[in-house]
Chain A
Amino acid sequence: MRALTWHGKHDVRMDTVPDPQIVNPRDAIIKITSTAICGSDLHLYDSYIPSMHRGDILGHEFMGEVVEIGPKSTLQKGQRVVVPFVIACGQCFFCGKQQFSACDNSNPAEKADLGEVAYGYAMSGLFGYSHMTGGYAGGQAEYVRVPYSDVGPIVIPDGLEDDKVLFLSDILPTGWMAAENCDIEPGDTVAVWGCGPVGLFAIQSALLMGAHRVIAIDHYPGRLALAKSMGAEIINYHDVKVREALMEMTGGIGPDACIDAVGMESHGFTIDNVIDAVKTTTKLGTDRAHVLREVLMACRKGGRVSIPGVYGGVGDKIPIGALMQKGLQVKTGQTHVQKYLRPLLEMIGEGKIDTTFLISHRLPLEQAPEGYKMFKEQQNEVTKVVLKPDWGKEAA
């Protein structure tokens, strides 16, 4: 089959690779109909995530048709499913608590040691996201093997086209959990750093959860305009100082809750960011934590901090005093996607949530390398790239 593979920094290619097979009884094979490029994929593209191997198949946001099932799968051939990017067994202590991204079993034993060294305990497997999270082949491909297919994938009713449901695989639940982690109360102002897909869905979710105001922060006018159209007030951090602006806009109190939807690759020529950039490029392994620092400083006393943005290593100069003295509460984590699939699918069906506004580009899978380049280099115009394995095939 054809698949998008990783070969190094800013080097991803379309390759012909062996088709996946059923390995375990609960597996299913999915023929992919739509798959997206995520901000998290850019961390791989930019080589910020360790334990990638040449030839690894990328992609963790995908959906498609069931074409093969193992003897213990509960899916049926021909069903359309969206697959959560988090691989979870459904039977361990953590899955029982709906903390799916902490699943104790989905990361193969020989891969889990790495995570134990890095984080104390190994995290769950993820599709297409380095060997530390399992080394599973991803879904920017024609086919993918899906483990635990009896508990992960959600079956999509006919009539809901791919573009409406594809983002259930990651960014929609991620934006939702980011807002849920803010424990929003009536009258709350929620500040959201980053107006990429995750930030935009977090804005939509926070408003649905009853936030009084949402203030969105980015520097791309195109993305800020999308945030505004969803009902957020906006701050362009190129024009104003973010913390002062937030203080003024909230009558000196500060935002009640702050969401870091940027993660370890924050932009900006502030001095801390430049130092961080030098350290990461010299492989000292510190994440660029500029946004996290700003969030901790800007949040009101006793406020809530939610961090969906991905960090992988250690952070330097984190204002730990601001965190402690102000009594901030922090919630974070890779999204427990499985927990949110049903309620979110329902809201999509009822028309309460729209996801199609986000898609700026649709390309044949064969053009995935161009898709990565665009999503990386033209963030103002390119908000989300969806790849279609079937497109261009008839012609070929």
Chain B
Amino acid sequence: MSKDHVESARESDAPLTAAVHQRDVAKEVAEDRGWGEAALVGRTVTINRPRAHLYAFWRDFRNLAAFMENVESVTPGDGQTSHWVVKAPAGQTVEWDAVITEDVADALIAWESVDGADIKTAGRIEFRDGPPGRGTEVTATIVYDPPGGDLGKLIAKLFQKEPKIQARRELRRFKQLMETGEVSTSDAPDAAPRG
């Protein structure tokens, strides 16, 4: 997603993630890239940590699996590339390669799947200083082209369950991990009886 689209998508000061016509923005993005169609999700969260700290954590893509529910692993390759393995329904996984398209230290990272990848997706994470003493405002925006065929159905299920909700949850977990050092959970693992 280019800077142009981010800017043209809104006539207010809210980030693209709050644009009423997200689908139209997504369409522009799709046309721009020669994709069939595109869906767009995004969210903003405030994290009580310095910008540089958050940027550095995210920039090491290996860390993303620690808080992204469906991401099994992200392995950095040489230079700007990375290999993504994501859980799909029914115990399957999907994989693709991505390349970093924009990288401004302590401010933003954008990446995009490489030409010919099974999954067409682009993501962007921006870090801005919040009001004094309140840490960093973090906005994540993801666009993707839901593919056709059986794989497409799997992916659609994966992303479209409730994509906005999913994005919100991933950001909440990122925030929890950065602020508290852990991802909060109330899940109770089965435990052996205490002796």
Contact = CB atoms under 8 A, between A and B. Distances in A.
A18 B188 contact: yes
10 contacts: A1-B194, A21-B191, A23-B187, A23-B189, A24-B182, A91-B48, A96-B48, A109-B169, A134-B184, A143-B194
A52 interface: no
Contacts of A21: 188-189, 191
A26 B191 contact: no
Contacts of B192: 19
Contacts of B168: 109, 113
Contacts, number: 83
B191 A72 contact: no
A251 B184 CA distance: 53
Interface string B155-176: 0000000000100111011011
Contacts of A111: 186
A147 B185 CA distance: 9
* A89, A104, A105: most-surrounded residue (chain B CB, <10 A): A105
A25 B181 CA distance: 8
B181 A93 contact: no
B191 A91 contact: no
A335 interface: no
Contacts of B173: 109
A227 to B, nearest CB: 37
Nearest to B170: A109
B46 interface: yes
A162 to B, nearest CB: 21
Given A19-B192, A20-B191, A91-B179, A105 B46 contact: no
Interface string A91-114: 111001000000011111111110
B47 to A, nearest CB: 9
A274 B143 CA distance: 52
Nearest to A133: B186
A311 interface: no
A93 B186 contact: no
A135 interface: yes
Contact of B186 (A26, A96, A108): A108
B21 interface: no
Nearest to A24: B182
B162 to A, nearest CB: 8
Given A91-B180, A93-B134, A125 B172 contact: no
B176 to A, nearest CB: 5
Interface residues of B, number: 28
Contacts of B193: 1, 19
Nearest to A151: B180
B191 A109 contact: no
Interface in A107-127: 107-113, 125
B68 to A, nearest CB: 11
B135 interface: yes
* B187, B191, B193: most-surrounded residue (chain A CB, <10 A): B191
Contact of A113 (B165, B185, B194): B165
B190 interface: yes
A337 interface: no
Interface string A71-102: 01000000000000000011111001000000
Contacts of A19: 191-194
A136 interface: yes
Nearest to B165: A113
A259 interface: no
A11 to B, nearest CB: 21
A125 B184 contact: yes
A104 B174 CA distance: 12
Query: What 5 pairs between A and B have smallest CB-CB spacing?
Result: A109-B172, A109-B169, A24-B182, A19-B191, A21-B191
A26 B181 CA distance: 9
A365 interface: no
Contacts of A104: 175, 179
A148 B193 CA distance: 24
A90 B172 CA distance: 16
A135 B135 CA distance: 29
B188 A148 contact: no
A56 to B, nearest CB: 10
B23 to A, nearest CB: 21
Interface string B72-84: 0000000000000
A108 B48 contact: no
Nearest to B187: A23
B186 A125 contact: yes
Interface string A131-167: 0001111000001010110000000000000000000
A93 B185 contact: no
A64 to B, nearest CB: 13
